[in-house]
Amino acid sequence: MLLPIENRRYANEITADDDGERVSIAGWVHEKRDLGGVLFLIIRDRAGYVQITLQKRRVEKELFEKAKKVPRESVVVIDGIVKSEKKAPNGYEIIPIPGHGRIEILSVALHNLPLDTTGKVGAELDTRLDARFMDVRTERTKHIFIIRSMVQRAIRDFLSERNFIEINTPKIVSSATEGGTALFPISYFEREAFLNQSPQLYKQMLIASGFDRVYEIAPIFRAEEHDTTKHLNEAASVDVEVAFVSDETVMKLLEELIAHVYSTVSLYPGLKSINVQLEVPKIPFKRLRYDEAIEIILDAGEQIEWGVDLSSSAERILGEAMGEHYFITDWPYTIKPFYVQFTGSKDKGKGKDTCDAFDLMHPRLELASGSQRVHSYELLKENIESKGLSVDSFEFYLNAFRYGMPPHAGWGLGIERLLMSMLELDNIREVVLFPRDRRRLVP
């Protein structure tokens, strides 16, 4: 039977002004300091740290011994009297005096901890990910995930204030979004199915439904075999689609969203335990055409041909040249998916046809991709064929273009990319609780 934990309070809900009051706190034994005649327990809860002070002479023997023996990271509930104490964290300590004291051990931790939760002894990322439940007990990691939650809420607030409808599309699908091989096949009863690599086709279909502003925040699955610091096999994407607008309008929406997220997070006090100074990026972001990007890359001495996608080192060169967030626009038509709108005339005759696609770049990496979409059924069908894909497997999608489809534009933004770049973290796995990559399926 669970003991009553009356008046349980978080560390930050008690102050020195509560001097003399009886309180209950519940949490983990973060640290123990045994000075012989006096024993300090530092209890950690979600909000912070509380010092429990036990004077050997002044507390019941049994209680003192119990406190002395409790292993670090055990879960306890402690009752005592608040005493104002300048030297303690938050300016108070709790004293379990006789008659008003209680220390209950609700769960005993093993002695050999996989990690040091005080963060004094660092650990490799792999060790931390293997014991992620415990890694989140450290200040730095805890704040990363509180910030991730803030970011997702800020995105939802921003988009719902602008009258967007949040949608949910299937993650088990029958065909590829963009073709290609980067799909995880799964067995679906008697058939083969796949994990969705993007909600692209479904969000476009909802534009035909009349939901003229939609968004989804959901996982995307990419079966790419890369093992880099910026790719996951399961990532989270913010996908947006808007009807009756051009690509320029959704680029503006995207840069405003980024600025909104930064300014929300910049107010968060927990940022200091991640050691980052957050400056809200200035909007509008610079626009760089793909052909201008190629010039910059060539000038830096790196080989690149018009018509190829940018390598990581090309992205780095551009990042150094630009120094802040920027868009790359006017991409070669050949390297973008079939649903992207062909620009038509920028460089006709030289084989350098461009399309109305854009990427949002942070100086370190790509954050988002978007475009004006094709909304003509005939053109879309033609594009699917000319990219070597099967029209039959896109029938369900194409159908939505035959009964009234407005012009539309949209983008997909990687949440982990946004977080890792904003918080200046080296590895994308830092911002995922339980990352999925080439080597990691557990925990």
Partner residues linked to 237 by β-bridges: 218, 414
Interface with ligand ATP (CB under 6 A), residue from 45, 330, 416, 430: 416
Q: Does 384 bind ligand ATP (CB under 6 A)?
A: no
Report the SS3 class of residue 165: strand
Report the SS3 class of residue 317: helix
Report the SS3 class of residue 106: strand
Stretch that binds ligand ATP, among 121-129, 133-141, 361-369, 435-443 (CB under 6 A): 361-369
The least distance separating ligand ATP from the CB of residue 161, rounded to whole angstroms, comes to 23
Pick one of ligand ATP, Mg ion, none as the site partner of residue 432 (Cβ within 5 to 8 A by kind): none
Pick one of ligand ATP, Mg ion, none as the site partner of residue 138 (Cβ within 5 to 8 A by kind): none
C-alpha–C-alpha distance, residues 206 and 195, integer Å: 20
**Roughly how many angstroms between the first and final C-alpha of the chain, as a whole number?**
30
Pick one of Mg ion, ligand ATP, none as the site partner of residue 414 (Cβ within 5 to 8 A by kind): ligand ATP
Q: Does 367 bind ligand ATP (CB under 6 A)?
A: yes
C-alpha–C-alpha distance, residues 20 and 403, integer Å: 73
Partner residues linked to 350 by β-bridges: none
Q: For 131, which DSSP code?
A: T
Q: Does 410 bind ligand ATP (CB under 6 A)?
A: no
Q: Does 368 bind ligand ATP (CB under 6 A)?
A: yes
* CB nearer Mg ion, residue 134 or residue 360: 360
Interface with ligand ATP (CB under 6 A), residue from 42, 235, 250, 259: 235
Pick one of ligand ATP, Mg ion, none as the site partner of residue 417 (Cβ within 5 to 8 A by kind): ligand ATP
The least distance separating ligand ATP from the CB of residue 33, rounded to whole angstroms, comes to 43
Binding to ligand ATP by CB under 6 A, coded x per residue (else -) over 106-125, reads --------------------
Tell whether the torsion through CA atoms of 322, 355, 203 and 338 is positive or negative: negative
Inter-residue contact 94 to 49 (CB < 8 Å): no
Per CB under 5 A, residues contacting Mg ion are 369
Q: State the Rg of the chain over Cα.
A: 27
Cβ atoms within 10 Å of 144's Cβ, excluding its own: 23
The encoded tokens of residue 407 equal 């012009």
**How many residues contact ligand ATP, by CB under 6 A?**
13
Stretch that binds ligand ATP, among 207-215, 243-251, 363-371, 396-404 (CB under 6 A): 363-371
Pick one of ligand ATP, Mg ion, none as the site partner of residue 294 (Cβ within 5 to 8 A by kind): none
Picking from 159, 338, 343, the residue whose alpha carbon sits closest to that of residue 246 is: 343
β pairing state of 49-55 and 92-95: parallel
Which parts of this chain interact with ligand ATP (CB under 6 A)? 222, 231-232, 235, 237, 366-369, 412, 414, 416-417
